[in-house]
Structure 1
Amino acid sequence: MYRRRRDRLCRRLLARAGGIRAGRTYLRARRRLKPESITDADPFVRLWIDPARIDRQVRTASKRWGRVESGDWDRDAIPFEETTAYGSVDAHFRRDVPWRETAEFEQYRERLEAGEQPKGCGTEAELEARFEELDTIYERIATDGYRSQPELWAERPDYQRDVFYKWDRTLDPRLDEITVSIGRDGSIFHGDRGDHRLAIAKLLDLEEIPVLVRCRHARWQSIRDELSAATRRSELTDRTRARLEHPDLRDLHGFDPSSDAGVISVPNS
């Protein structure tokens, strides 16, 4: 409870101080003080990846931006298609099961009966309306393709503002993307946001979606650090050479992944 309140206060202060820009400044300062726990990557830059690549879900030790975590959290993962959110989305859109009869709705109903307000809802009617918004999201993605949050805010600010401020809390509304974490070997796991949107993207067999990286394993971060320091491909270990095409590494090098030649790297941006 103490950590949640502390993190919530920190987000509010950073939002008032300048949102994303303040967040970047804060994380750069933290990295100088504790480089082992903060990534060099800009956590607010989106990666566009194939949703099929995100096949497992994991809960990391931290939900804060830009974190580097050691330990075995990346080994404690479950198949994404076995999650309640995916199962409920699949049942509704593929088998026409009403939202009220899905497993996830039942879980939220139990929370309502226990006196909670899941998703900001105080009644079953409000909860059902919240789930029915997923129908609109599904149709929009199927018709217009998947849009990033900045694109959606630019196109429909009034609608986005109503949805965001009613249900969600984060540093900046444009950060309400699907979040992922990257394990020690580069595996990409679903994180703590956007599970319904990821499920929809999978059902629609989309080629790519925007995601934000919440957390990286310390061993994966060591690969980023190695690439950042290298000036020639010959300086890289075999472990790093084998991962040059990973979407989280493309911003760090100009090496040709298909060649063993010592291609000159481009400067880091």
Structure 2
Amino acid sequence: MNSGTALAEEQTFPGPAYDRAPSGTRPPRPSLLRRALDWVPVQDFLAAHIGFSRRFDQAVLRLAAKGGQATPAARAHFHFADALFLQIDPKTVEMRLRDNFLEAGSLRWVGTHFLDGGDWSHLLAPVAKSSSHAEIIELCRTRQNFRKGKRYRHYARRVTEGETIWRNRIGIDTHDKLDGYFEYYLALIEDIEKNGILPHSDLGLRNQTGYRHRWTRTFWQDLAERDIGIAIDAEGRLVRHTNGKHRMAAALALGIRQVPVEIRLVHARWLARRAEQLGLPPAEALLATIEHARANGWPAK
């Protein structure tokens, strides 16, 4: 039996198990030094251009066999650049990866690396059951009458009882703030309905998210905003990942058939199989698959 067939038939995943993090938990903040290095990623930039493909190919095979994570996300972004972008039908994305997870008891954020070889089964959840998704679906239906929506009324009742609702890491503790939160995303929906979902590279995303009620999102969230994030799981399915949950929900609710996305996480087991199918090194196989998907859609054949 060759290695690709063995990977395809093997149902267990090596390495430490990934477990669902308790609701509301967040990884510890990085040190000031770490944040400074992230803002000036010289090391990642150099590593993305010196010997990257060799290390990447080796990491794919290692992770497929042994599990774990490899290739910092910034290095993959610098190396592959625009090759990671494509247009997809949002209906092909039915699951999402939870942002945070537990690995060997340690809380981790899912967006640190581009390659992963672990078991995602505890981290996957239906897109339709996301709170952000439900809010947008309701807003697309109720529009200016959003105060009559079930989810709005649920939040309003909690605020009346003295509870603070946390959305986008902002505390909502008054009805005026709650109205502002819903009005902010109503403006986003109306813009998407008029203009579609704009690629981040068009520099239209900031305009698209609206200037009204800016307090509903932090400055850092706006600064870090990117195209809708997508991961490729061990079976080659597209999974929503990190940025873009509100835009993806709006696209589905409004019946938009094509949205711009960025591949940000790839399961090593799928890529190892794909490389063998195409007879290419993993890095080249990934690029060839994305290029084929641009013309023929996903799933990759």
TM-score category, normalised to shorter length: 0.5 to 0.7
Alignment of 1:1-269 (within 5 A): 3-6=27-30, 10-15=34-39, 17=40, 23-25=44-46, 32=55, 35=59, 36=63, 37-39=69-71, 41-42=76-77, 45-59=84-98, 61=101, 62-74=109-121, 76-96=123-143, 98=146, 101-103=149-151, 106=154, 110=158, 113=162, 118-119=167-168, 120-124=170-174, 125-153=176-204, 156=207, 163=214, 166-167=217-218, 169=220, 173=223, 175-223=225-273, 225-226=275-276, 230=280, 249-251=289-291
CA distance 1:229–1:83, change in 2 (3 Å): same
Which stretches in structure 2 are left out of the alignment for 5+ residues? Answer: 1-24, 64-68, 102-108
Report the counterpart of residue 260 of structure 1 in structure 2.
none
SS of the equivalent of 2:243 reads: coil
Task: Output one character per residue of 1:47-75: Cα deviation in whole Å (capped at 9) or x when no partner.
Answer: 32111111112226543244322222146
Give the residue type in structure 1 aligned to 2:151: A
CA distance 1:205–1:2, change in 2 (3 Å): closer
CA distance 1:9–1:102, change in 2 (3 Å): farther
Task: Output one character per residue of 1:129-152: Cα deviation in whole Å (capped at 9) or x when no partner.
Answer: 122111111111111121012323
Q: Per-residue deviation at 1:214?
A: 3.0
SS of the equivalent of 1:213 reads: strand
TM-score normalised by the chain length of structure 2? 0.59
Q: Distance in 1 between matches of 2:32 and 2:205?
A: 26
Number of residue pairs matched?
Answer: 239
TM-score normalised by the chain length of structure 1? 0.65
Which stretches in structure 1 are left out of the alignment for 5+ residues? Answer: 237-243, 258-269
Give the residue type in structure 2 aligned to 1:54: V
Give the residue type in structure 2 aligned to 1:147: L
